[in-house]
């Protein structure tokens, strides 16, 4: 009997142990996915940005600076990234807030694929834990809305790829695109907002986004989508290295660690693909992976991949996960905002150049905001380094290169310099023409005054005694004729204006000589 009870107890313990293991397995973090939406803030002047952007501002609270991140970043980067950091010039210009009413909620992705020709159909459903939803606004009227999500259920690389590809969609980009339905649930698992991405759209004339999820948090009429039709992706996949027979994968055995250069899955992970890779040339794929992979910690089973729309990491442990959500999140947010700012300024410069070419804005360029915003960007956001940590410097340089920050800035700088030179030449030409015109007017008035003076002097010097009224009238008529016939030469009504211009010009030259 006692043996039987002991066996029952052992069985119960075994069951409990198995349940505990299963629970631990369910709760173990498999991957983190961060979707970042950069946008341009419209009409921000003299308006509280919080009032301008947020639907329910009482549901947001200020973010606290992570102490490790504060030590990681240099002074200028912290001033660019964090609200009211440093001098008072940052007040209400740089904003970082967190949405407090949805933490531990669910970000649900549902997708159906139906291929009648291939007779292939399947459904995908992913329930991701919402860790945070963050808003950042920068000094250059650029903002980001970020969804920080955790995956504790889906282990396979195919699932990770689908989460990255489907979860970042904002609207249907082309007619036949297959789109997911995305829903958000609160902590009590009640649906609070949902959007069928196939029905979401962007109004092309105004670039206004029609998406229920984004408009649940932001007043979308006051923002404009910039950079891409999809959100930027940060992803960290945690998995033990393995190489299953017949399955090409980037989780390598130790001796095969360098096979990432030929891995289709590693390519799809970096470039956010599902199905067949969008590069079907082996040599080109190797070159792209070589140029997109950061391998400093490869032998510690950690790889980073960077493209213009993703910052991805794979590791065999969750050691770098905190860095992804904090240190690298701030780094990525800054570089994404840099690119969005430069593109926004480039667009404004293009519009300004077109106005000037069409002769609509020659005189008002100096009072435009473009130059001011460009100088604000250079002083507040453009840094060669944002940290003294070696890996941080390398990743920042790597990411800036992939986002083509240098080339985009050179293009903007060239437009500004070329426009300034053109306006300087036009201004010099206008000054020269004005000087010639003033000189010509002086000469013409001088001739007229000389003629009138000559005749007037003759009249007053000649004695009227013995002269007939007819002779005197003839002289007066002659002077009047001179004035009348000179009218095509001189506009008398503008004489006071001409005289003022001449006097102002003379005074200006006199002051220049004094200086």
**Nearest CA-CA partner of 213 in 229, 241, 194, 235:** 194
Count other C-beta atoms under 10 Å from residue 223's C-beta.
23
- Kindly tell me if the per-residue pLDDT of 253 is higher than 50: no
**Nearest CA-CA partner of 82 in 30, 134, 46, 12:** 134
Between 357 and 252, the more confident residue is: 357
Lowest mean pLDDT among 99-108, 184-193, 407-416, 491-500: 491-500
HSE of 114, CA atoms in CB hemisphere, 13 A: 4
- Kindly tell me if the per-residue pLDDT of 161 is higher than 90: yes
**Nearest CA-CA partner of 201 in 179, 217, 184, 232:** 179
Q: Are 374 and 139 in contact (CB under 8 A)?
A: no
pTM for the complete prediction? 0.79
User: Using 50, 70 and 90 to split pLDDT, how confident is the model at 358?
Assistant: confident
Question: For residues 147 and 232, what is the distance between their CA atoms, to the nearest angstrom?
Answer: 10
Q: Are 117 and 106 in contact (CB under 8 A)?
A: no
Looking at residue 367, its pLDDT comes to 44
Between 424 and 48, the more confident residue is: 48
- Kindly tell me if the per-residue pLDDT of 307 is higher than 60: yes
Question: For residues 71 and 50, what is the distance between their CA atoms, to the nearest angstrom?
Answer: 28
Looking at residue 479, its pLDDT comes to 66
User: Using 50, 70 and 90 to split pLDDT, how confident is the model at 248?
Assistant: very low
Of 21-35, 212-226, 345-359, 406-420, the range with the highest mean pLDDT is 212-226
Question: For residues 325 and 304, what is the distance between their CA atoms, to the nearest angstrom?
Answer: 14
- Kindly tell me if the per-residue pLDDT of 236 is higher than 60: yes
Q: Are 60 and 100 in contact (CB under 8 A)?
A: yes
- Kindly tell me if the per-residue pLDDT of 424 is higher than 50: yes
Looking at residue 254, its pLDDT comes to 46
Looking at residue 500, its pLDDT comes to 62
- Kindly tell me if the per-residue pLDDT of 380 is higher than 50: yes
Lowest mean pLDDT among 244-248, 270-274, 305-309, 488-492: 244-248
Between 451 and 400, the more confident residue is: 400
Looking at residue 3, its pLDDT comes to 55
Mean pLDDT over 501-510 rounds to 59
Between 422 and 310, the more confident residue is: 310
- Kindly tell me if the per-residue pLDDT of 316 is higher than 80: yes
The DSSP output letter for 260 is G
| Sign of the dihedral defined by the CA atoms of residues 239, 242, 248, 254, in that order | positive
DSSP H helices in 327-404: 327-357, 370-380, 390-402
Question: For residues 485 and 293, what is the distance between their CA atoms, to the nearest angstrom?
Answer: 84
Between 165 and 14, the more confident residue is: 165
Terminal CA-CA length for the chain: 114
The distance from CA 328 to its chain's CA centroid, rounded to whole angstroms, is 18
User: Using 50, 70 and 90 to split pLDDT, how confident is the model at 319?
Assistant: very high
Please identify which residue in the block is written with the tokens 């080339």.
407
- Kindly tell me if the per-residue pLDDT of 407 is higher than 60: yes
Looking at residue 480, its pLDDT comes to 64
Question: For residues 324 and 332, what is the distance between their CA atoms, to the nearest angstrom?
Answer: 10
- Kindly tell me if the per-residue pLDDT of 144 is higher than 60: yes
User: Using 50, 70 and 90 to split pLDDT, how confident is the model at 485?
Assistant: low
Question: For residues 515 and 468, what is the distance between their CA atoms, to the nearest angstrom?
Answer: 60
User: Using 50, 70 and 90 to split pLDDT, how confident is the model at 180?
Assistant: very high
User: Using 50, 70 and 90 to split pLDDT, how confident is the model at 435?
Assistant: confident
- Kindly tell me if the per-residue pLDDT of 455 is higher than 80: no
Encoded tokens for 208: 């206004």
Averaged pLDDT of the chain? 81
Share in percent of the chain as helix, strand, coil (round to 5): 50, 20, 30
User: Using 50, 70 and 90 to split pLDDT, how confident is the model at 245?
Assistant: very low
- Kindly tell me if the per-residue pLDDT of 374 is higher than 90: no
Lowest mean pLDDT among 24-38, 328-342, 481-495: 481-495
Lowest mean pLDDT among 194-203, 226-235, 294-303, 438-447: 438-447
**Nearest CA-CA partner of 32 in 159, 124, 160:** 160
Residues 359-367: contacts with CB within 8 Å, 24+ apart?
362/423, 362/426, 365/419, 365/423
Looking at residue 504, its pLDDT comes to 65
- Kindly tell me if the per-residue pLDDT of 24 is higher than 50: no
- Kindly tell me if the per-residue pLDDT of 241 is higher than 60: yes
Looking at residue 336, its pLDDT comes to 97
Mean pLDDT over 142-148 rounds to 97
Of 69-78, 87-96, 118-127, 169-178, the range with the highest mean pLDDT is 69-78
Residue 309 vs residues 227, 279, 360, 372: alpha-carbon distances, Å: 9, 16, 38, 29
Lowest mean pLDDT among 214-223, 296-305, 340-349, 455-464: 455-464
User: Using 50, 70 and 90 to split pLDDT, how confident is the model at 102?
Assistant: confident
């Amino acid at each position: 009997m006692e043996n039987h009870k002991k066996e029952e107890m052992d069985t119960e313990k075994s069951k409990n142990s198995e349940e505990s293991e299963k629970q631990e397995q369910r709760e173990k973090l498999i991957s983190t996915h961060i979707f970042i939406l950069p946008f341009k803030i419209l009409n921000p002047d003299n308006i509280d940005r919080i009032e301008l952007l947020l639907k329910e501002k009482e549901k947001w609270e200020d973010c606290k600076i992570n102490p490790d991140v504060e030590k990681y970043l240099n002074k200028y980067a912290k001033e660019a990234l964090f609200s009211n950091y440093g001098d008072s010039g940052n007040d209400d210009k740089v904003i970082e807030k967190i949405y407090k009413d949805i933490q531990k909620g669910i970000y649900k992705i549902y997708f159906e694929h139906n291929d009648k020709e291939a007779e292939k159909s399947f459904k995908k459903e992913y329930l991701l834990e919402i860790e945070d939803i963050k808003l950042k606004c920068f000094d250059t009227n650029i903002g980001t809305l970020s969804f920080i999500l955790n995956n504790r259920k889906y282990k396979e690389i195919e699932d990770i790829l689908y989460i990255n590809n489907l979860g970042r969609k904002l609207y249907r980009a082309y007619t036949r695109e297959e789109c997911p339905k995305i829903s958000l649930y609160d902590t009590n698992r009640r649906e609070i907002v949902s959007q069928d991405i196939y029905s979401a759209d962007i109004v092309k004339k105004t670039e206004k986004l029609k998406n229920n999820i984004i408009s649940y948090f932001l007043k979308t009429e006051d923002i404009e989508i910039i950079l891409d039709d999809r959100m930027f992706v940060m992803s960290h996949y945690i998995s033990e290295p393995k190489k299953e027979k017949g399955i090409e994968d980037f989780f390598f055995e130790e001796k095969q660690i360098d096979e990432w250069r030929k891995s289709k899955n590693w390519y799809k992970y970096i470039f956010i693909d599902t199905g067949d890779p969008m590069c079907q040339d082996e040599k080109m794929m190797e070159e792209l992976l070589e140029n997109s992979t950061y391998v400093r910690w490869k032998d510690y089973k950690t790889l980073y991949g960077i493209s213009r729309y993703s910052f991805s990491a794979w590791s065999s442990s969750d050691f770098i996960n905190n860095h992804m959500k904090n240190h690298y999140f701030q780094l990525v947010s800054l570089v994404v905002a840099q690119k969005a700012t430069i593109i926004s300024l480039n667009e404004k410069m293009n519009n300004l150049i077109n106005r000037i070419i069409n002769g609509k804005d020659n005189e008002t360029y100096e009072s435009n905001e473009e130059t001011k915003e460009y100088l604000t960007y250079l002083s507040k956001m453009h840094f060669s380094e944002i940290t003294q940590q070696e890996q941080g410097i390398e990743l920042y340089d790597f990411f800036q290169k992939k986002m083509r920050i240098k080339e985009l800035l050179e293009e903007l700088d060239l437009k500004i310099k070329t426009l300034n030179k053109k306006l300087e030449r036009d201004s010099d030409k206008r000054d020269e023409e004005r000087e010639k015109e003033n000189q010509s007017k002086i000469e013409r008035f001088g001739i007229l005054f000389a003629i009138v003076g000559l005749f007037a002097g003759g009249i007053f010097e000649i004695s009227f005694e013995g002269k007939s009224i007819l002779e005197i009238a003839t002289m007066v008529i002659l002077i009047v004729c001179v004035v009348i016939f000179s009218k095509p030469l001189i506009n008398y009504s503008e004489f006071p204006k001409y005289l003022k211009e001449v006097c102002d010009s003379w005074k200006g030259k006199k002051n220049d000589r004094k200086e």
